[in-house]
Amino acid sequence: MQVATEAERLSQQLTMLEVRAPALRAIRAPVDNGAELRLVVQQHGALLFEWLTVALRDRLTGPRVPITDAQRAAAAGQASLEAMARQDRLTQDRRIVEYGALRRFAAWDQDEAAGVALPPVHDAPQVATILFDGALS
């Protein structure tokens, strides 16, 4: 039996919220005046930030999985804009944050190859805040 990592668990929760949001948006006159949708959006944002922090911390501490060429291309902005436009806003937000994290990972890989020290693990929340605010502003 394989145990899911914290990042995988958070990713599953994000996916559940991303599935739920379009259904809530489809309701023409919600009884709660959209409160449930706003709650889903807030929960998604909080989980997305938590996922980003965990991903950064894992990248700084654990064995580094090499970034694939497909990931590099997507992070460089070569992902299909048409495909992204068809996605729900929450899914788009997650993709934007994921691509920002991939760009940061690639920069760290280059820094490490050049002999530049990576940030300490305890700076992961601060780096996550900078990336999150920059990606979704």
How many CB atoms sit inside 10 A of residue 111's CB? 13
* 1 in a structural domain: no
* 56 in a structural domain: yes
* 91 in a structural domain: yes
Count of domains observed in the chain: 1
pLDDT classification of 125: cutoffs 50, 70, 90: very high
Spatial CA neighbour of 56 closest among 109, 118, 110, 105:
105
* 125 in a structural domain: yes
**pLDDT digits over 60-105, tens only?**
997 877 888 877 777 666 556 566 667 788 988 998 898 889 889 9
pLDDT of residue 1: 45
* 85 in a structural domain: yes
Distance in angstroms (rounded) separating the CA atoms of residues 57 and 127: 10
Distance in angstroms (rounded) separating the CA atoms of residues 19 and 44: 11
**pLDDT digits over 20-61, tens only?**
998 888 887 777 888 899 999 999 999 999 999 999 999 999
